[in-house]
Structure 1
Amino acid sequence: MRNVDLGGDARRAYPSSLTDAMWAVLEPLMPVRDRSRGGRPRRWDDRLILDSILFVLRGGCPWRMIPHDLAPADAAHRWFTAWRKDGTWDRIHDELRGRLRRRAGRDRHPTAGIMDSQTVKSSEGGQGIGYDPGKKTTGRKRHLVVDTMGLLLVVAVTSASVNDRPGGRMILARLAAAFTSVALVWADAGYANSRDATMVGWARSALGLVLQIVRRRDDVKGFEVLPRRWVVERTFGWLIRNRRLARDYERLTANAEAMIKLAMIRLMTRRLAGQAVRWSNATEREAARRLNAERLLNT
């Protein structure tokens, strides 16, 4: 454990702990405790519970290995599950995304998104474990739709054996139900190759969405940064910097989805608190270059 800048707070904290500026963003969004219901007063406050959950997210350790100076593992996991079930994570996530979009000069409600999936290895077992023959990986698949800023719109975690097309139909249905403002979605050729355009037609007829396929050029070998596609790839990069998400350790797919939303909550909270992280790998540098180019074109 080392000293971390807590905005004037002199206590020692872990690198995953909330700073005072981050807590100022999150505190008004936390559920209000109903003291009229009686019962024993809570022993651990919301900030300590969040610090404990974030320690697991960032460090990737089992719940049982939460340090003794944080909340007990059973209390942290209990509140993580309770806030998933009552919609707290969803409500906080959606509010922070809206604030970031407004701060960037965009409408709170997005009109376009980018879709992709990521296969990750799982741990010992749990719900929805399967084999992805394309990736030669046993685990789960994360289906994401993000906005043009890379912020999460909807997520679904399935077995790795679920093909991109049925997984894509499921995530697009979730998107259409949650965001009536979205009219255009970009995706890779895995969702509708040259021999099968049914996904594109289904999205238009059933959901009223324009699904635009971004294809690789045949004359390019190796890695290529594709238009629009790099946005969701960058989001996957943001997620797996949290060691809990480098593999899928959750027993339930609902908890796996909640961990992804929690990672985005932490990222957005840091940005709103003025503590944005600067990445240094090639993908991040290319993303920053493209964003700067877009800003110059719009000025």
Structure 2
Amino acid sequence: MTATICPPGTAVSGPCYPSSLSDEAWGIIQPVLPVRDLRKGGGVRKYGDRLVLDSIFYVLRSGCQWRMLPRDLMPWDAAHRWFTKWRRDGTWDRIHDALRRQVRIGAGRDPEPSAAVIDAQSIKTSEGGEARGFDAGKRTAGRKRHVIVDTMGLLLVVAVTSASVQDRAGGRTVLARLATDFRTVSLVWADGGYANFVDSTLLSWARDALGIIVEIVKRTDDVKGFKVLPRRWVVERSFGWLVRNRRLARDYERLTATSEAMIKVAMIRLGSVRRITGGARAGSLPR
């Protein structure tokens, strides 16, 4: 990506990239960043939070290797170190969740959702790394992203597994996390792949063990060709948001935990910040 010079008076002086935070976006994300604890060595550091985010967003958006981070941003090892630190200490989760609530409140919704949509996406991987397999149905060698989003398409839960893991098996994982983290959700829409006769207990298990109704949205037999299914297009759009970032067009990460964190970073940038600043349309389902 080509850099331009940041306007005078912005928080960062020097080159700006298309992936860099605007002043408006920075004003939204700054209040939800963790406060540094001076007693734990969290005082003044060499690189500010905005530069940390701009450097990580550059890797996400461009898809470059960490070692190829431009010299006018952070040193690559420092940027990678902060990305990993925030993954391990839950900072990415806290930023993501705070911004998601802000988007929902701004749209006139309750902070926590009552309904959601589940789906899975198979994605190719680079060589190496854990949890790689083959999805025979999609004919894809790599990993699978199991996600649950709210009715605005904002991420609630994500689990990255081998592509060989069946949607129903991955569905159990993310539904269990959903029940723990979002007790307000009582209804989840899914496609027919989650109700296959081989694992017909998934729907009853979700109802009896988790208190969640999984409603299957099926294509009617009399409809031919492509058709946007109600309740289903929201999660497809969320997958579209993810792959706009070249780092997520393929899974380059060695660890699945890193893949999950990178997905949350993408949703922070595209799903939440752009919604608040008006950079993305806020269409959603009426619930």
2:264 match? 261
TM-score w.r.t. the length of structure 2 is 0.92
Partners of 2:161 and 2:138 in 1: how far apart?
15
Partners of 2:137 and 2:179 in 1: how far apart?
28
Partners of 1:240 and 1:255 in 2: how far apart?
16
Greater CA drift, 204-213 or 34-43: 34-43
Tell me the alpha carbon deviations over residues 268-289 of structure 1, each in whole angstroms, 9 at most, x when there is no partner: 11222x24146xxxxxxxx95x
Q: Alpha-carbon deviation of 1:220?
A: 2.4
Q: Note if contact 1:119-1:140 (Cα within 8 Å) is conserved in structure 2.
A: yes
Partners of 1:36 and 1:275 in 2: how far apart?
39
Which of 259, 269, 274 is equivalent to 1:270? 274
Q: Note if contact 1:7-1:20 (Cα within 8 Å) is conserved in structure 2.
A: no
What 5-or-longer segments of structure 1 have no aligned partner?
A: 279-286
AA at the equivalent of 2:4: N
Q: Note if contact 1:114-1:147 (Cα within 8 Å) is conserved in structure 2.
A: yes
The alpha-carbon distance between structure 1 residues 171 and 79, as it changes in their structure 2 partners (threshold 3 A), is same
The alpha-carbon distance between structure 1 residues 38 and 152, as it changes in their structure 2 partners (threshold 3 A), is closer
1:109 aligns with 2:112: yes
What 5-or-longer segments of structure 2 have no aligned partner?
A: none
TM-score w.r.t. the length of structure 1 is 0.89
The alpha-carbon distance between structure 1 residues 24 and 65, as it changes in their structure 2 partners (threshold 3 A), is same
Q: Alpha-carbon deviation of 1:34?
A: 2.6
**1:146 match: secondary structure:** strand
1:225 aligns with 2:193: no
Q: Alpha-carbon deviation of 1:7?
A: 9.2
Q: Note if contact 2:168-2:202 (Cα within 8 Å) is conserved in structure 1.
A: yes
Q: Note if contact 1:5-1:19 (Cα within 8 Å) is conserved in structure 2.
A: no
2:150 match? 147
Partners of 2:3 and 2:233 in 1: how far apart?
35
1:3 match? 4
Share of identical aligned residues, percent? Answer: 63
Partners of 2:111 and 2:8 in 1: how far apart?
29
The alpha-carbon distance between structure 1 residues 220 and 40, as it changes in their structure 2 partners (threshold 3 A), is closer
AA at the equivalent of 1:85: R
2:79 match? 76
**1:219 match: secondary structure:** coil
Which of 115, 125, 130 is equivalent to 1:127? 130
Q: Alpha-carbon deviation of 1:5?
A: 7.4
Tell me the alpha carbon deviations over residues 17-57 of structure 1, each in whole angstroms, 9 at most, x when there is no partner: 01111111111222222334459952211111111100000
Greater CA drift, 110-119 or 262-271: 262-271
The alpha-carbon distance between structure 1 residues 196 and 129, as it changes in their structure 2 partners (threshold 3 A), is closer
**2:223 match: secondary structure:** coil
Q: Alpha-carbon deviation of 1:4?
A: 7.3
Tell me the alpha carbon deviations over residues 116-143 of structure 1, each in whole angstroms, 9 at most, x when there is no partner: 0000000012011111111111100000
The alpha-carbon distance between structure 1 residues 38 and 248, as it changes in their structure 2 partners (threshold 3 A), is closer
Q: Note if contact 1:7-1:21 (Cα within 8 Å) is conserved in structure 2.
A: no
Partners of 1:194 and 1:212 in 2: how far apart?
15
1:66 match? 69
2:103 match? 100
